[in-house]
Structure 1
Amino acid sequence: MTTSEPASSPAPDTDGIAIHDARDLVPNGVTANIALDGQLYTLRITQAGNLILTK
């Protein structure tokens, strides 16, 4: 059995806006599903380290 550390809470920016590390949102290192108002989106980290958000 493997255990992983819980994702750390977002760090506030100097403007009070939360900063999330994308790798914490993508547990398998490639994709994560994000829901907003009943819509499902996919967040993907490319091999080049770019983020792509698709519906």
Structure 2
Amino acid sequence: MHESYKALIPLILPESIEEYFELTEVEKKDAAIHIYLKEVKDQVQKLWSRE
């Protein structure tokens, strides 16, 4: 992944998202940037157990 795309991610996504998702890939296709995230299961389970 190009470093300039990595620098844009915090500006695009909410900061709390990295608690629950891991960035796996960023790719540029035509005029779009595709951001791929993987759910961090431990954190999501903690979130659901609080409710």
Please give the TM-score of this superposition, normalised by the length of structure 2.
Answer: 0.29
Q: Which has the higher contact order (CA 8 A, sep 6+)?
A: 2
More strand as a share of residues: 1
More helix as a share of residues: 2
